[in-house]
């Protein structure tokens, strides 16, 4: 069993170093899983019967751990890696915190300039790590760590270690937990992560303890979350810790959610031979992929854009490129989206005007189910680690080619 897990860890590590983001890491990892074991993460989980009581404890622990430690407006650094950063992990965390306006929020990367997001889009960042350190010599109050294409970048590891030594609270989203592990910040702590990596993380960090059935977990100055869609509840909890419950409620209402409890049933998430085979066969049919355009505009919600594009791309049938009338587009958060020339005749990714970000996301999932079937929808939800029930009654099918 340990040998099989180690083989999967090595395969996942090679994929993370050579490809971009969690999504492409899945492709090679699943190949190894099907060929070698026929299954994915085999970590046994306890039943979620006491998850509600545990959720109250985790929520309280998170708030206490993440409350500001001094007067004044705290500084939050949202980390990216230029070569590859997970789309939703980055745009949603940065967007929610900017929307809340309870802290100074800075997007940072090893180099200023373009950051490639995965599975789609690119943004421009105007502050590198060195410039951030000059501007904030005492360090950040908080650092947000998304999933990155290389979990063992020495520049990022060193910077995170220095931020932690200066007292920063660090929140790793999804497979950002892998980065914390390589930076030496996970050993001896309770943690969670994207379901695919939980067993491998425990093997690499035997003194750490995985906490199931919780969307976000805090242990001292380190917090971690489950898969990609945990970015919204975790950031709302951070907004509550910094700006209070009422401000978090206001931001949640703008996003289209009612609550941000950490309670989360981890049981449904895992690979089977059938799931892995279905996914690999779908990815092998690359000739069926369509290139869609997503129309973007100044002031567009980062969160709605990220969630919709991420979900459609993870069907394995769609590649998304941004299209704009102007040369550049500045999103609601202030990030500049790269908008290269795009064929005007490309089919459009269906977005409905007037929906809040999470409403748009849920509509997107329903449209995916109508277009590609329940099995494909189930896979997309599993990759995004999204477990809420959907009411898809009356969802119109996207017209051929993706036109709404």
Q: Is 174 a catalytic residue?
A: yes
* Cα distance between residue 217 and residue 344, in whole Å: 45
Distance of CA 309 to the CA centre of its chain: 13
Residue at token pair 């049981």: 267
- Dihedrals phi, psi of 225, to nearest 5 degrees: -130, 165
Q: Are 342 and 321 in contact (CB under 8 A)?
A: yes
Residue at token pair 């100074």: 104
- Nearest-5° Cα angle at 87, 81 to 88: 125
Burial zone of 169 (CB within 10 Å; 0-12 exposed, 13-18 middle, 19+ buried) = buried
* Cα distance between residue 31 and residue 271, in whole Å: 12
Given 31, 174, 366, 392, the catalytic residue:
174
Which residues are registered as beta bridge partners of 149? none
- For residue 244, is it left (φ>0), alpha (ψ between -120 and 50) or beta? left
For residue 78, the SS3 value is strand
Structure tokens at 33: 């899983």
Q: Are 229 and 362 in contact (CB under 8 A)?
A: no
Which residues are registered as beta bridge partners of 114? 124
* Cα distance between residue 116 and residue 113, in whole Å: 10
Cβ neighbours, 10 Å, residue 110 = 18
- Enumerate residues 6+ apart whose C-beta is below 8 A from 66: 142, 169, 171, 218, 223, 237, 238, 241, 242
Residue at token pair 């290139």: 291
* Cα distance between residue 84 and residue 151, in whole Å: 11
Q: Are 210 and 227 in contact (CB under 8 A)?
A: no
Give me the active site residues, please: 174
């Amino acid at each position: 069993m340990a040998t099989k897990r180690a083989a999967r860890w090595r395969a996942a590590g090679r994929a993370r170093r050579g490809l971009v983001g969690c999504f492409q890491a899945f492709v090679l990892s699943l190949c190894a899983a099907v060929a070698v074991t026929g299954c994915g993460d085999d970590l046994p989980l306890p039943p979620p019967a006491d998850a509600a009581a545990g959720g109250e404890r985790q929520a309280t622990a998170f708030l206490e751990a993440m409350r500001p430690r001094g007067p004044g407006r705290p500084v939050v650094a949202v980390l990216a890696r230029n070569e590859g950063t997970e789309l939703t992990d980055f745009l949603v965390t940065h967007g929610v915190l900017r929307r809340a306006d309870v802290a100074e929020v800075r997007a940072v990367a090893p180099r200023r300039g373009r950051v490639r997001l995965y599975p789609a889009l690119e943004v421009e960042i105007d502050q590198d790590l060195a410039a951030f350190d000059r501007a904030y010599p005492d360090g950040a109050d908080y650092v947000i760590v998304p999933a990155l294409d290389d979990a063992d970048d020495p520049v990022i590891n060193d910077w995170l270690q220095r931020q932690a030594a200066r007292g920063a609270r660090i929140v790793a989203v999804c497979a950002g937990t892998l980065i914390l592990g390589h930076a030496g910040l996970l050993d001896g702590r309770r943690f969670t992560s994207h379901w695919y990596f939980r067993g491998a993380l425990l093997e690499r960090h035997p003194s750490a303890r995985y906490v199931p059935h919780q969307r976000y977990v805090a242990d001292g100055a380190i917090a971690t979350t489950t898969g990609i869609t945990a970015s919204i509840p975790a950031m709302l909890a951070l907004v509550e810790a910094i700006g209070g419950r009422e401000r978090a409620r206001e931001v949640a209402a703008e996003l289209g959610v009612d609550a941000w409890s950490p309670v989360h049933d981890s049981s449904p998430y895992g690979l089977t031979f059938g799931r892995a085979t279905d996914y690999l066969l779908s990815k092998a049919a690359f000739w069926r992929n369509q290139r869609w355009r997503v129309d973007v505009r100044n002031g567009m919600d980062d969160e709605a854009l990220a969630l919709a594009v991420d979900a459609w791309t993870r069907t394995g049938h769609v590649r998304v490129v941004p299209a704009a009338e102007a040369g550049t587009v500045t999103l609601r958060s202030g990030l500049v989206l790269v908008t290269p020339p795009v064929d005007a005749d490309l089919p459009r990714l269906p977005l409905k005007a007037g929906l809040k970000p999470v409403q748009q996301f849920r509509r997107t999932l329903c449209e995916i189910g109508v277009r590609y079937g329940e099995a494909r929808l189930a896979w997309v939800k599993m990759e995004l680690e999204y477990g809420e029930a959907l009411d898809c009654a009356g969802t119109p099918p996207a017209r051929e080619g993706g036109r709404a």
